[in-house]
Structure 1
Amino acid sequence: MQARDLMVEDVVTVRADADVSEVFRKFARHSFSGFPVVEADGTVVGVITESDLVDLFEADDETLWIPIGLPPFVDTLTYQIKPPWRDLDLGVDLVRNADRPIREVMSTDPATVTPGTDVDEVLTLLSSTDPDINRLPVVDDEGALVGLIARQDVIRAFHERRMEG
């Protein structure tokens, strides 16, 4: 079994010149957790995920420094804080980031495979935790997108194969 046996060819993509607001609309219209990002010629340049967009709304600095003692004997403690979602002003953050180029937010240099990649390599990539890969763009020799393999595609293919045999 090879990547071509697992991939779907009708892939929803995001243009590399899109902005954050366009990508939010794409996530709202499709039930995917990520999309390949492509140039006009179809070359894969990145992947954008829901997690990448959620990161836009997290506080830049989650460390609170607390001074302890009196000068000159002052020590500091660090304390990690995570503000709850309700404390963030999502409307302001969305407006602030709406025109931001997706190139600044996407994961660059994504793992890709070719149609002839062996299933064992596909399984190795999708089961890796560093980085955690949920989808693999399938590209031709020039790097243009020809398909996509998501974890559920692999599971479905193996299930179908077991049901046949």
Structure 2
Amino acid sequence: MHARDLMVTDVKTVAPDDDVADAFKRFARYPFSGFPVVDDEGRVVGVVTESDLVDLFEPDDETLWIPIGLPPFVDTLTYQIKPPWGDLDLGVDMVRNADRPISDVMSTDVVTVTPETDVDEVLDLLAGDDPDINRVPVVDTDGTLVGIIARQDIVRAFRDRRLD
């Protein structure tokens, strides 16, 4: 069994110059947690996931670190304070990031396979130690997207083989 036997060829994608608002619409419309990002020639240039977009609304700089020195101690104690206004900032963050291009938030280190890749290699990728790999784009020799394999596609294929 090879990647071509498992892949779905009707792949929903986004473009690098699509904006964050477009990606949110796609996530609302389709039951996927990530989309390949393809250029004008159909080559995979990245992947954007729901967690990439969630990260836009959980900035690291939202936490205040306050050093407090207590005499006669020379060292200071540092306390973390999470401001309660975080929920109010969500709408502001959405407006601020809505026009931001996907190319700013996508992952560019994309793991891909070819249609001839053995199913064992695909399994190793999807069941490996990297929790961020939930789908594998299938590309031809020049990097053009021809399909995608998600974890559920592998489970479905093995289930179907058992039933045959």
TM-score (norm 1): 0.90
Whether the 8 Å CA contact 1:65–1:78 is kept in 2: the answer is yes
Matched to 1:121, the amino acid is E
Structure 2 partner of 1:77: 78
- Superposed displacement of residue 25, structure 1: 1.0
Compute the RMSD of aligned alpha carbons.
2.1
Matched to 2:71, the amino acid is L
Cα distance, 1:28–1:3 mapped onto 2, change above 3 Å: same
CA distance in 2, matches of 1:143, 1:24: 26
Whether the 8 Å CA contact 1:15–1:38 is kept in 2: the answer is yes
- Give matches, 1:19-98, under 5 Å: 19-61=19-61, 62=63, 64-70=65-71, 73-77=74-78, 79=80, 87-98=87-98
Structure 2 partner of 1:148: 148
Whether the 8 Å CA contact 1:14–1:36 is kept in 2: the answer is yes
Structure 2 unaligned residues grouped into runs of 5+: none
Sequence identity (%):
64
SS in 2 for 1:48: strand
- Superposed displacement of residue 74, structure 1: 3.3
Cα distance, 1:25–1:84 mapped onto 2, change above 3 Å: farther
- Superposed displacement of residue 78, structure 1: 5.1
CA distance in 2, matches of 1:121, 1:82: 44
CA distance in 2, matches of 1:16, 1:159: 36
- Superposed displacement of residue 32, structure 1: 0.8
CA distance in 1, matches of 2:46, 2:60: 23
- Give matches, 1:78-157, under 5 Å: 79=80, 87-157=87-157
Q: Deviations over 1:102-123 (max 9, x none)?
A: 1110111210000000011100
- Superposed displacement of residue 83, structure 1: 6.7
Structure 1 unaligned residues grouped into runs of 5+: none
Matched to 2:51, the amino acid is S
Whether the 8 Å CA contact 1:57–1:88 is kept in 2: the answer is no
- Superposed displacement of residue 16, structure 1: 1.4
- Structure 1 residue runs of 4+, over 4 Å off? 81-86
Q: Deviations over 1:56-108 (max 9, x none)?
A: 000323463342413771323354x6678972422110110011111110111
SS in 2 for 1:89: helix
